[in-house]
Structure 1
Amino acid sequence: MAGVVAGAAGTAVAALLLTGCSQHDTGGQNDRQDKVAERGRSVMPFDLDQTTHHFTPTDTGGIQEVVADEPGDTEQIGLIRSHLRQEAKAFARGDFGDPARIHGHDMPGLAQLEEGYERLEVRYQKRTDGAALTYHTEDPALAGALHDWFEAQLSDHGDHAEGGH
């Protein structure tokens, strides 16, 4: 009987430790997301709480969309369009400074995108509810770096972002 009690106690302790670890890990991620949102406010003119980022990887790159949560929110839509137009121009020059300021200079995929920008086409497109950037490359390694970059943004933006459609 003592072995059963000791085994149950050990299981309970293990469960508490795992729960504590997962809460701590989630807390760390939430802290990072809060810091990213704070830094994002100084770079992105639109309100993260009123917009959503969508990241969709493709075989040759990907599509990044930012849309207003309320389709008729002309203020947020205008701010999104202005920002993504500027980002498309910057990315085409190899300037990924804004994402680096928000997510950190060591974010996955960033260095490869900066180095390979001449092999990456970035196209801006207006949407009725915001705007999109389409990234295209014939370089599979650069497409992989873009996918890593998308994943990092998905993780960092938390509830403000979604993957795919």
Structure 2
Amino acid sequence: MIEATQRKLREADFFLQRLIDERRRSVRNEPEAFLFYLSAFLSAARSVTLVLQKEEKQRYDAWFPKWFARRSKDERDLCNFMRDQRNVELHETGADVNLSSVSIPYIEIAAGEFGDPLYSFQSFGRHRQHAPNIERPAYHFGLLGTETEVTVACRRYFDLVAELMREFIRDHASPVSP
């Protein structure tokens, strides 16, 4: 049932994971990778409902308004916001993302990225000397008046789209005959 829709959900998950991985990087060989992954995620995540509607048009058109009405206001607002971000990304100038930078102690990044103490950061200097910091980009959506980190908003949206698909399958599963 709805194989193409399930593939689109896996595609959205794939790009969400790349987006999260890219956010964690301190050294970026491709400075636009985060925005490229965001574009791919927005497209794939939005396509889940579009493909579901194509695969099961009559059922989906009857079912979706009731499902959407049962969502909280925050969930409905998130769906509408992400739909609008996808449309602006694909048809206009790109998603409305705010860019800032975050200063992070290098020692935290080195420990987190390299894991093994063998590859850890060593700092020599005067006692209590501050470790060097690096700047890392931080991406935010202005989500309904609140600055929300992009990967947090995308994770919430993905979870909601996955829930939509699970509930559609549950509500339209053919009964098993004895």
Same fold (TM over 0.5): no
TM-score normalised per structure 2: 0.28
Q: TM-score, normalised by structure 1?
A: 0.29
Q: Which has the higher strand share?
A: 1
**Larger relative contact order, structure 1 or 2 (CA cutoff 8 Å, min sep 6):** 1
